[in-house]
Amino acid sequence: MQSTTKVVTAFLLCLISATFITGGHAQPLPVQRVAGGVAGPQVGQLAPEFALQDLDGTLRRLSDYRGKVVLLNFWSTWCTPCREEMPSMQRVYERLRKRGFDILAVSLNVEGKPPVEAFMKELKLSFPALLDPKKEAARLYRIYALPTTFLLEKDGKIAYKLIGVREWDDPDSLQLIEGLLREK
């Protein structure tokens, strides 16, 4: 009995230590250009089509962005890691949008437009925010963690998937995106 208690205590101490070391949230999984995983759309597959309203009430379809490299980001205003990566998303958007790059930031806020609009204004974000309060697109993409981001090729196929926060304007991220922009 004492042995079991010691094992459980040691496990809990390791778990608590890991939480403090990582700052309370998981590190992002590495970006890979290989198919894998058990659920949701896979690298190399056509990204599932959806249509969602933006903050102006305009219905935006994913297929309307064919011919562009798209950073498709699932997020929410209450998600601290999401907030952390948004400024870098804005910087890469400003840097590359005239070269055929776009961002679709799909908000999963159940409250709809008001908190998303305030968030976008507060962080001075100008890329399109789409509203998915019923989680319709999130279900299509099997979103279970935020932020989750897909980089889509010009033909609408999934090139990369990342779960977790990322600095989108760091050299590695820019190299990924610019490589997709160079592809025919």
Question: Tens digit of pLDDT for each residue in 74-118?
Answer: 999 999 999 999 999 999 999 999 999 999 999 999 999 999 999
DSSP letter at 70? E
CB 108 within 8 A of CB 74: yes
pLDDT digits (tens, 9 = 90+) for 26-75: 444 444 443 444 468 999 999 999 999 999 999 999 999 999 999 999 99
Both tokens of 17, joined, read: 């230590």
**Rounded distance, CA 88 to CA 165, Å?**
10
* Residue 184 pLDDT grade (very low, low, confident, very high; cuts 50, 70, 90): confident
Whole-structure pTM value = 0.80
Q: Which domains does the chain have, with CATH numbers?
A: 28-182 (3.40.30.10)
Beta strands in 7-147 (DSSP E): 51-54, 59-61, 69-75, 101-107, 129-131
Q: How many Cβ atoms sit within 10 Å of the Cβ of residue 42?
A: 13
26 phi/psi in degrees, rounded to 5: -65, 150
